[in-house]
Amino acid sequence: MLKNPAAKYRPFPPVQLSDRQWPARVLTHAPTWCSVDLRDGNQALAVPMNVAQKLDLFQALVKCGFKEIEVGFPSASNTEFRFNRLLIENGHIPDDVAIQVLVQAREDLIERTFESLVGAKNVIIHLYNSTSPAQRRVVFGKSKEEIVQIAVRGAQWIKDRLPRLKGTNVRLQYSPESFSATEVEFAKEISEAVMDVWQPTPERKMILNLPDTVEVAMPNVYADQIEWICRNIRNRDSLVVSLHTHNDRSTGVAATELGLLAGADRVEGTLFGNGERTGNLDVITVALNLYMHGIDPQLDFSDLGALRDVYERSTGLTVPPRQPYAGELVFTAFSGSHQDAIKKGLAEWDAGGRSHWDVPYLTIDPTDIGRRYQEVIRVNSQSGKGGVAYLLESEFGIELPKDMQREFGPIANDLVDALGREVKAEELKAMFWREYIERTSPWELIHFHADGVDGKFRCRASVIHQGTEKRVEGEGNGPIAAFVNALAGSGAPKFEVTNYREHALSAGEGASAIAYIQIRLADGRSQWGAAVDTNIELASIKGVLSALNRL
């Protein structure tokens, strides 16, 4: 890297808009959405989708609720052309969905595009040409006036052919490609020149798409550009101002959201941000960002996992594990403090403690988009007692007392740390079983019987201690107290039971119950034990021995 990057690079000039309004605005409704997965997304694939894959993805987009879908560049290849014809001739396009097609300002390409649209009910014809200084200089070698003439000729060629689509509801869209790198005054000039040809009205609006084709500035600059156009272009009420951002500076979502504040009406983007270089705008992220603020996005992502499967199957791409909302690891927490906060927040929500979602670290309820609470907590060596306890309870119905969580959490972390990887719920349960339930040495219960009258109990039991069977008897105010008394004369250290809990197991153990026993020795040390049995009384007695065995 250069020691002085200013010798090679320069900052992007700001837009002169001292009284900008967008910073004080708040989004209150969803924009019009247009998916460009089948065109802009498809062109970025190493192996473009075939017709069957495009159809699969098209149907998924329709199911999500997209009413405008850019299906391709029909003049670019036979595959693109055949896909248009397949959609139209086989009736795959719902009556309330418009297909959008892209075309450059070349007459032969426009002619082929019109051929591909015959018989469609609703279409958007999207004309574009590049307008930035670099494109004008490097690619075309043309002046501003000559670039305007390219756009005007293309607009006229389209207008001349509109009678050939009789019976089709046609809307027209123009993009000054590389808008964000174009002088706003020139973007206005060329857009108004196209408007002069197409003559949009408030009743028959034209779509003016202002793409951030390559991110060249901070998102607030793009917002200024959008607001400047919205405030200065002629006949704004005859336009649908549309955004199409890319992610070169990793701020495509921010640029879109600020562009909406700046006055835009419509957003183009792709599922999961597929697109050239660092990708297009991720429509899902913007839509669910609105959703988490209580705004209906007008798109249905209630089964985001299934949509991700279609996307990966169609494109051959993989959704990154940290992709907002959709990634495998989004609704997870490896930090112990995060896990504890999530567990408590979910418990508050489940108990009806709040009217609006406010769970720490979870911006939305995972179940709203087809995710499961069981996916929320995962355990590795960084996990704390909260995450361990949540997973045991949610997966197996094992409800550890608070103090026992503090004891088992570090034990589980040490075991996971030794493995050097994340553990599954079943592995965590096995750790708990080995540590508490399966302890049979040095004490093991062979037989236990207790009976009582008027709160006084007497027990008789057989235990094995260090390989030798012993018969013991004792008395107390309950079966557990009687058993503790019986052990006192059999070589057990002096102790008392300080905590006892039990409950039925709700998963995987049939009619079994689990008991948790905490004992305190004469020297002040405390220890937990646990045991499972179909008889709750026997579970509690075995729990006492579990605690002794863990000394």
Q: What is the pLDDT of residue 507?
A: 53
CATH number of 443-549: 3.30.160.270
pLDDT for position 374: 53
Mean pLDDT, residues 368-394 taken together: 75
Please name every residue paired with 473 in a beta bridge, in sequence order, or none if there are none: 460
Q: Which of 221, 146, 147, 220 is nearest to 177 (CA)?
A: 147
Q: What is the DSSP letter of 12?
A: P
Per mean pLDDT, which range of 274-288, 370-384, 501-515 is the poorest?
370-384
Cα 492 from Cα 471, distance rounded (Å):
13
Q: What percent of the chain has pLDDT over 70?
A: 97
Rounded to the nearest integer, the mean pLDDT of the chain is: 93
State how far the Cα of 149 lies from the Cα of 155, in Å rounded to an integer.
Answer: 10
Q: What is residue 490's predicted lDDT score, i.e. its pLDDT?
A: 84
pLDDT (tens digit per residue) in 462-472: 999 988 999 99
Alpha carbons 49 and 72: distance in angstroms, whole number? 11
- Is 338 a residue whose pLDDT tops 90? no
Q: Give the three-class secondary structure for 462.
A: strand
Cα(207)–Cα(188) distance, integer angstroms:
14
Q: What is the pTM of this model?
A: 0.79
Q: Which residue ranges make up each domain of the chain?
A: 21-315, 336-434, 443-549
Per-residue confidence (pLDDT) for residue 509, from 0 to 100: 54
Distance CA 179, CA 528 (A): 67
Burial class (CB in 10 A: 0-12, 13-18, 19+), 426: exposed
CATH code of domain 21-315: 3.20.20.70
In angstroms and rounded to an integer, the radius of gyration of the C-alpha atoms of the chain is: 34
Label each residue of 234-300 as H, E or C: CCHHHEEEEEEEECCCCCHHHHHHHHHHCCCCEEEEEHHHCCCCCCECEHHHHHHHHHCCCCCCCCC
